[in-house]
A = this chain, B = another copy of it.
Amino acid sequence: MKQFLILASLCCLLVLLLTGSFPAKTSPQKSTPPNVVLIFMDDMGYGDLGCYGATQYQTPNLDRMASEGIRFTNFLSAQAVCSASRAALLTGCYPNRVGISGALGPRSTVGLNPDETTLAEVLKKQDYATAIFGKWHLGDNPAFFPGKQGFDTYTGLLYSNDMWPVDYDGKPITDETNYRKKSYPTLQLMENDRPLRDITTLEDQATLTGEYTKRAIQFIKKQKQNNTKPFFLYMPHSMTHVPIAASAPFRGKSQQGLYGDVMMEVDWSVGEILKTLKETGIDKNTLVIFTSDNGPWINFGNHAGSTGGLREAKGVSFEGGQRVPCLVRWPGVVPAGRVCTKLSSTIDLLPTIAAACSAKLPEKRIDGISLIPLFKGDFAQTPRREFYYYYRKNNLEAVRRDDWKLVLPHPGRSYEGQLPGKDGFPGKAPEDHPYPLALYDLRRDPGERYDVQAMYPEVLADLQNLVEKARVDLGDDLTNRTGANVRPVGKVADK
């Protein structure tokens, strides 16, 4: 009888182990606030991951992350350009609400207003350790450094990796061509408030992904050792922004030239982070989010990513400029293998993470809405994001409700019909293009090819009301409207 009991117990143990329902030794208490890892790509397009249709290189770590979590198919970057998108990510606001638009250049006298409450500050109030390894781009004046915005630790570039005095051929610039300028300062890798080393060659650029990854792993391991605080790790990669560069082990690995190689190195990096979380036993209590700042800069041809067929690209408010991949992995909370087709945006990540970490929202008004109900598949639950305003700078160019998108008449640019560049050199700049009023049904026409305004007058009317709402709230330079609820950008005196 004793033998029977022992063996019966062994059987039970076996069942528990095989069904995976036996709690692992490292499993956290339910009440432990989760760690947060936020990986943010630069100029990576909607079609650039295997799980979003990329064919000529493999992204096995990201694809597995998708299969273990939730994959969003209607996730919009806040605006189709770098600084604006990042300001929105860190404040949970439309970027023009906090006065940031476009991409800040070196020696900028503006930056994200220190009066704004960033995601890092939201979490610091909950006693999180906070770190950023990667590209900042919210002000390169010390007044705006990451340390002023809630980050304990920083290693990275202060702005885009192409804002350097180096030409497309890798040689020093001799004239003030395009946006790369002879007068730009040397590009530097910063460590907190001090320059660590210069980035002057493509070989230097090729070290960035590895450097950020190494720092991230060290940070995770150190937090685990101290084991006192949860952490927030923000990894805004410099890649796949031009000039793209991969380290030696990844060169020639893909079937899509250097761009594919760079994507494979980023995928490797994500794999290393996820592996470190597992090895340190905190995998199950860590919320990992992976997304991008805007669509691909297709003017650079084979050195750019893909929109996966969506219209236009970086800098343009059509879907190719703003719709980006978004993956969320949070074992035990986010069901594995879910695909969410609902409208959502970068501006929703701050309230989502705040809710996940039981942190207080900023006191100032935000525009984001927590995605937690969508994580759980509760699409019917309100509030969820039902509309979005597509601005370029402070020009209202389109509005969207669910899958209906109204493009307003506006002067814009178009990459279509332009010869893209090759091997690091840009093509002809996108042409000025006047866009007329058009209504798109993105359910059946994600490519924004067929204007159906004449067929759905009731939808048109509804979206025109939304336009009015946006103009009252945020303003619209195209119609000389001033928003009632916009806040000032941070400013310093000219150097």
Q: A residues within 8 Å of B by Cβ?
A: 3-4, 7-8, 10-11, 14-15, 18-19, 47, 50, 53-56, 67, 73-74, 256, 298, 301-302, 304-311, 337, 339, 341, 403, 415-416, 418-420, 422, 441, 443-447, 449-452, 454-455
- Distance A445 CA – B256 CA, assembled complex (angstroms): 13
Which of B7, B308, B419, B420 makes the CB contact (< 8 A) with A446?
A: B308
Beta-carbon nearest neighbor of A341 in chain B? B55
Nearest Cβ on chain B to A431's Cβ, whole angstroms = 13
Q: Which residues of B contact A4 (CB under 8 A)?
A: 3, 7
A447 touches B307 (CB 8 A): yes
Q: Which residues of B contact A55 (CB under 8 A)?
A: 73-74, 341, 403, 443
- Distance A304 CA – B444 CA, assembled complex (angstroms): 9
Nearest Cβ on chain B to A145's Cβ, whole angstroms = 36
Known contacts: A4-B7, A18-B15. The answer to whether A415 contacts B341 by CB under 8 A is no
Q: Which residues of B contact A450 (CB under 8 A)?
A: 298, 415-416, 418, 420
- Distance A10 CA – B455 CA, assembled complex (angstroms): 67
**Pairs across A and B, CB under 8 Å, 20 listed:** A3-B4, A4-B7, A7-B7, A18-B19, A50-B339, A54-B443, A55-B73, A55-B341, A55-B403, A56-B443, A305-B444, A306-B445, A307-B447, A309-B446, A310-B447, A311-B449, A415-B449, A416-B449, A419-B455, A422-B455
Beta-carbon nearest neighbor of A63 in chain B? B339
- Distance A276 CA – B11 CA, assembled complex (angstroms): 35
Nearest Cβ on chain B to A364's Cβ, whole angstroms = 33
- Distance A11 CA – B18 CA, assembled complex (angstroms): 12
Beta-carbon nearest neighbor of A73 in chain B? B53
- Distance A10 CA – B14 CA, assembled complex (angstroms): 12
Q: Which residues of B contact A308 (CB under 8 A)?
A: 309, 446
Nearest Cβ on chain B to A443's Cβ, whole angstroms = 5
Which of B67, B304, B447 makes the CB contact (< 8 A) with A309?
A: B447
- Distance A409 CA – B447 CA, assembled complex (angstroms): 24
Nearest Cβ on chain B to A379's Cβ, whole angstroms = 10
- Distance A485 CA – B285 CA, assembled complex (angstroms): 64
Nearest Cβ on chain B to A196's Cβ, whole angstroms = 35
Q: Which residues of B contact A19 (CB under 8 A)?
A: 18
Nearest Cβ on chain B to A7's Cβ, whole angstroms = 4
- Distance A166 CA – B307 CA, assembled complex (angstroms): 43
Which of B47, B419, B451 makes the CB contact (< 8 A) with A452?
A: B419
Which of B301, B339, B451 makes the CB contact (< 8 A) with A455?
A: B301
- Distance A449 CA – B318 CA, assembled complex (angstroms): 14
- Distance A331 CA – B8 CA, assembled complex (angstroms): 34
Q: Which residues of B contact A73 (CB under 8 A)?
A: 53, 55
- Among A50, A307, A415, the one with the most B-chain Cβ atoms within 10 Å of its Cβ is A307
B306 touches A309 (CB 8 A): no
Nearest Cβ on chain B to A16's Cβ, whole angstroms = 11
Beta-carbon nearest neighbor of A455 in chain B? B422
Beta-carbon nearest neighbor of A19 in chain B? B18
A301 touches B403 (CB 8 A): no
- Distance A304 CA – B450 CA, assembled complex (angstroms): 13
- Among A55, A301, A341, the one with the most B-chain Cβ atoms within 10 Å of its Cβ is A55
| Given A7-B8, A256-B443, A415-B449, 6 other A-B residues pairs in contact with their CB atoms under 8 A | A50-B339, A55-B403, A308-B309, A309-B310, A310-B447, A416-B450
